[in-house]
Amino acid sequence: MCGILGSVPATESHLFEAALSTLSHRGPDGKGILDLNGKVSLGHTRLAVIDVSPVASQPLRYQHLAIVLNGEIYNYPELKNELKTAGYTFTTQSDTEVVAAAYLKWGHSCLNRFNGMWALAVWDDQQQELFLSRDRFGKKPLFYTFTQGRFVFASEMKALVPFMPAVEVSNDFRSMAAHVLDYEATGKCLLKGITRFPAGHYAYYRQGKLKMERYWNTYDHLPEVPASYEAQAERFEMLFRDACSIRLRADVPLGTSLSGGLDSGAITSMVNHLSKNNKGLKSYEAFTAFMPGTSSDESPYAVSLCKQLDIPLNLVKIDAVKAAETVFEDFYYFEELYHTPPFPMTETYRAFREKGVKVSLDGHGADELFSGYRNFMFLAFVDSGFDIKTIKEISRTYNDTFSYDQAQHYDKRKPVEAYLKTRLWYFLKSNELLPAGISKEQRRDMIERMGHLNYGLYVLFHYTILPTLLRNYDRYAMRYGVEVRMPFMDHRLVSYCLALPWHSKIKGGFTKAIVRDALSAYVPDNIRLRKAKMGYQAPLNNWFGSAWREFLQDSVLAQDFKNCNLINPTQITKDLESLLKKPLIDYIPAEKLFADICPYFWEKGFLKKATLLHHTWTEQR
């Protein structure tokens, strides 16, 4: 994991160094700059994980190529052996050199051979062209801009600010703020003039033109799955075990961000099993956000799991007061909008770094593959043929996923029925299942092949919730120089799981049934068979009624809040007053209020600082 920056043609050294310095948090272990005779500038801030020696520093030269890579290619040893057989030689033990050699041999088709996550750029000095690529699912960020006769790319928007003629908010800002789960998978950015490089694509930049192509669509890679449930589970276990195994390849200590739920618990349990035969594993421990007395605290489950597996556990206490004090700084690093503050997650990864643990194996992707979200139970109803008995069974299954605190928002006796009443009409009338990029005809064909539930999960995975979460966790972890690896997002596993029938995912009174059954030999039953699902997020309902009350009241009185034209200050003030009068604050209205006020936090934390830095850099030109 690292930060990358590049400019074609090259940029003045002082300006380029200033831009690269904004990415120092992504790569605290070193930085490098390469200027190839004014044709291109490449920059890299390094988080050393594989081959931590100086010889593996970037930008890296390989014959007539120069490369910068943010990410990891987990199957690099196998690719390296194949390339050696073909006559290629290597001077480092890094995956970056393997990527360069692979590109030299196979061109852009090398991308389909990679198992990993990446945003990369390769300059070909013979062809005088720049090659860019982003991994299949967009785990690693990449932005670009055309400005003042240059093409510039970077890992974060803030690194592009020095090159911009001005720092301006996008014309689509209000629409993006109203749909924070939808814009990440588009090319849209909160700053005018900057574009997101799409996941699963590559591009060539030559003679002032950018030509982009898509190289990956999961729908084109759906395999045939075994007919029997037992064989399906056996195949899943094999794929998941290998996905975890290759993600243990590192020359630094590893850990897990453990929530106490099934997804991270499955990874922790599998890694614990694999570590018994992995002599190269430096060390392995778990980190859990500790929020005692709140609706978001799952630490007792994490403690129980680690005791059973005999794994060291670090309980990271989340201080609500500190979360309020750092909210503006948090948004400088976060750069984006969301409906919950970054602090619990960033604080957890800060603890990783303080312990010298540079890599975290996290459980992202499982909810989107196995229907962990309640709103998509409707699609299972359709796939069942609206069989009344099956619908009742599915409803009971999801009814059990509500924790006690969550059930308070609905009818605590029958929360799923109340949930259905509040969500069904919204779900049916929304365009949630027809994102940009999928036509009505394509949707029809995909549903015919995949079924309604898997199609809905495909959309979640590629267009809405998951791309947003991947972006968020990249920012949360990279703020403190921690790499997040995600076994559930191994592309082999993703393709397989989206081809599984719906009734292998919702079965026997359980969601994620095949995960629970396939991993019964690894995951302790109190985690494996736990039904309640809790989101990993700030307990806003608790904070707003206590530690954040004064902070929020002071915020709406501030002059810069009243002058913020990205929000409706008057309405937010009224909503806050109404919310704080309640003796018991529910999570959903608290979350909505945070989402409404979030553009103000973003403006003060990110936009104003970026604008100030831009003025400073402009004066130095």
**Residue 136 forms part of a structural domain:** yes
Secondary structure string (H, E, C) spanning 125-162: CCCCEEEEEECCCCCCCCEEEEECCEEEEECCHHHCHH
pLDDT category at 435 given cuts 50, 70, 90 is confident
What is the pTM for the complete model shown? 0.94
What's the confidence (pLDDT) of residue 398? 81
What's the confidence (pLDDT) of residue 511? 94
What's the confidence (pLDDT) of residue 297? 84
What's the confidence (pLDDT) of residue 432? 62
- Give yes or no for residue 408 having a pLDDT over 50: no
Number of other residues whose CB lies within 10 A of the CB of residue 194: 22
**Residue 591 forms part of a structural domain:** yes
Q: Write out the DSSP string of 334-358.
A: H-S--SS-SHHHHHHHHHHHHTT--
Number of other residues whose CB lies within 10 A of the CB of residue 422: 12
How many structural domains comprise the chain?
3
Lowest-pLDDT choice from 155-169, 187-201, 308-322, 431-445: 431-445
Distance of alpha carbon 164 from alpha carbon 143, whole angstroms: 13
**Residue carrying the six token digits 């830095």:** 613
On whether both 179 and 279 belong to a single domain, the answer is no
Judge whether 138 and 197 are in contact, CB under 8 Å: no
On whether both 140 and 270 belong to a single domain, the answer is no
On whether both 65 and 198 belong to a single domain, the answer is yes
What's the confidence (pLDDT) of residue 580? 96
What's the confidence (pLDDT) of residue 457? 96
Distance of alpha carbon 289 from alpha carbon 298, whole angstroms: 8
pLDDT category at 350 given cuts 50, 70, 90 is very high
β-sheet with 2-8: strand ranges across: 31-35, 41-46, 2-8, 150-154, 143-147, 195-196
Nearest-10 Cα torsion for 429, 430, 435, 438: -10
Last residue of a domain, one of 216, 243, 275: 216
On whether both 166 and 234 belong to a single domain, the answer is no
How many residues comprise the chain? 621
- Give yes or no for residue 404 having a pLDDT over 50: no
On whether both 84 and 123 belong to a single domain, the answer is yes
**Residue 410 forms part of a structural domain:** no
On whether both 592 and 555 belong to a single domain, the answer is yes
- Give yes or no for residue 534 having a pLDDT over 80: no
For the purposes of burial, counting CB atoms within 10 Å of the CB of 138, is it exposed (0-12), middle (13-18) or buried (19 or more)? buried
CATH of residue 233? 3.40.50.620
Judge whether 76 and 69 are in contact, CB under 8 Å: no
**Residue 533 forms part of a structural domain:** no
On whether both 93 and 172 belong to a single domain, the answer is yes
- Give yes or no for residue 419 having a pLDDT over 60: no
What's the confidence (pLDDT) of residue 537? 84
Mean pLDDT value of segment 84-109: 98
**Residue 381 forms part of a structural domain:** no
What's the confidence (pLDDT) of residue 421? 52
On whether both 208 and 256 belong to a single domain, the answer is no
Judge whether 352 and 482 are in contact, CB under 8 Å: yes
CATH of residue 51? 3.60.20.10
Last residue of a domain, one of 216, 245, 279: 216
pLDDT category at 402 given cuts 50, 70, 90 is low
- 3-state helix, strand, coil split of the chain in percent (to 5) is 50, 15, 35
pLDDT category at 422 given cuts 50, 70, 90 is low
Q: Print the domain residue range for 332.
A: 227-368+465-498+518-528
Percent of the chain with pLDDT over 70: 94
On whether both 481 and 551 belong to a single domain, the answer is no
On whether both 232 and 211 belong to a single domain, the answer is no
Distance of alpha carbon 379 from alpha carbon 441, whole angstroms: 18
Strands 60-62 and 483-485, by their bridges, are unpaired
On whether both 236 and 95 belong to a single domain, the answer is no
Last residue of a domain, one of 168, 196, 216: 216
Q: Kindly report, residue by residue over 236-283, the tens digit of the pLDDT.
A: 999 999 999 999 999 999 999 999 899 999 999 999 999 888 777 777
What's the confidence (pLDDT) of residue 386? 85
On whether both 242 and 132 belong to a single domain, the answer is no
Distance of alpha carbon 604 from alpha carbon 560, whole angstroms: 8
pLDDT category at 413 given cuts 50, 70, 90 is very low
- Give yes or no for residue 217 having a pLDDT over 50: yes
Tokens of 226: 């075994």
Lowest-pLDDT choice from 393-397, 472-476, 504-508: 393-397
- Give yes or no for residue 178 having a pLDDT over 70: yes
Q: What is the DSSP letter of 187?
A: S
For residue 253, whether the previous peptide bond is cis, meaning omega lies within 30 degrees of 0, is no
Mean pLDDT value of segment 387-407: 73
Q: Kindly report, residue by residue over 226-236, the tens digit of the pLDDT.
A: 999 999 999 99
Beta bridge partners of 214: 201
**Residue 115 forms part of a structural domain:** yes
Nearest-10 Cα torsion for 343, 345, 351, 357: -150
**Residue 352 forms part of a structural domain:** yes
What's the confidence (pLDDT) of residue 407? 43
- Give yes or no for residue 619 having a pLDDT over 50: yes
Query: What backbone torsions phi and psi does residue 332 show, to the nearest 5 degrees?
Result: -65, -45
Percent of the chain with pLDDT over 90: 82
Lowest-pLDDT choice from 72-81, 323-332, 370-379, 461-470: 370-379
The per-residue pLDDT of the chain, averaged, comes to 93
- Give yes or no for residue 199 having a pLDDT over 50: yes
**Residue 376 forms part of a structural domain:** no
